[in-house]
Structure 1
Amino acid sequence: MNSIIIDESALESMESLLGEQFSDTLVFCCAEFERLGAEVLATIHNDIQVASRHAHSLKSNAAQFGATSLSEVAREIEQSLNNDNTAQAIAASAQLDGQVAGSKAKLTDWLQSR
């Protein structure tokens, strides 16, 4: 999955829920996408449990803020690690940097258009 998919209805729901705190929270979440993605990549070769936890957190955070394609990649990594399919998880992790950067760019553009 190379395309970046953003679910604007999820963003609008979070915006409605968080009100004036939404903008700051979205900026923080984008930073968390970068941190969690980097943690997955840093640990996937030597600590599968830690990598799986980071992928789980990334999956959940991305889904809450409408970063659908990023969430799907993180889900694939998490499930592959949990099913002892490290090779598949590593293959999926090759998409992480692009998904994080692309999702962050689209979310930032969406926020600036409001």
Structure 2
Amino acid sequence: MNVSIDNSALESMQSLLGEQFEETLVFCCSEFERLENDLKLALNSNREEAIRHAHSLKSNAAQFGAISLSSTARAIEQGLMRGDDAAVSENMEQIAEQVAGSKSQLLQWLATNP
């Protein structure tokens, strides 16, 4: 499975946030993990809450260029909205790896682009 990061999105956010960029990116990476955990907890008990967590994960990931994570979260969100349990299950199998891989690549990008 591929983890893709859009460097131009990161450069745009870095330009926009200036001094706040590093702190915001590190916080965003921890949010990926929190949202993933919240999504997993809500998945079998509260569909509306699970949709909200998937939506937030999708949006946060897209904002910081974590393209593949955003795409996986979008597939989960849409699957939940359609009641497509197979799509949800298939994408949930990838979400932890996408979160970990995206976080790793974003922090590595940060280390090489101070």
Query: TM over 0.5, yes or no?
Result: yes
Gaps of 5+ in 2: none
- Structure 1 distance, partners of 2:89, 2:83, is 11
What is the RMSD of the two structures over their aligned residues, measured on CA atoms?
0.7
- % identical aligned pairs: 55
TM-fit CA distance, 1:41: 1.2
**Which residue does the alignment assign to 2:52?**
53
- Structure 2 distance, partners of 1:44, 1:20, is 37
Q: Residues 64-94 of structure 1: CA distance to partner in whole angstroms, max 9, x if unpaired?
A: 0000000000000000001111232122111
Runs of 4+ aligned residues of structure 1 deviating over 2 Å after TM superposition are: none
Q: Which residue identity does 2:70 align to in structure 1?
A: S
Q: Which residue identity does 2:30 align to in structure 1?
A: A
SS state of the match for residue 66, structure 1? coil
Q: Residues 21-74 of structure 1: CA distance to partner in whole angstroms, max 9, x if unpaired?
A: 000000000000000011111111121111110000000000000000000000
**Which residue does the alignment assign to 2:3?**
4
- Which aligned pairs between 1:11-26 and structure 2 lie closer than 5 A? 11-26=10-25
- Structure 2 distance, partners of 1:64, 1:71, is 9
- Structure 2 distance, partners of 1:104, 1:16, is 20
**Which residue does the alignment assign to 2:76?**
77
Gaps of 5+ in 1: none
- Structure 1 distance, partners of 2:56, 2:10, is 18
Greater fraction of residues in helix:
2
Contact 1:44 1:90 in 2 (8 A): no
SS state of the match for residue 94, structure 1? helix
Q: Which residue identity does 1:6 align to in structure 2?
A: I
Deviates more, 1:42-51 or 1:75-84: 42-51
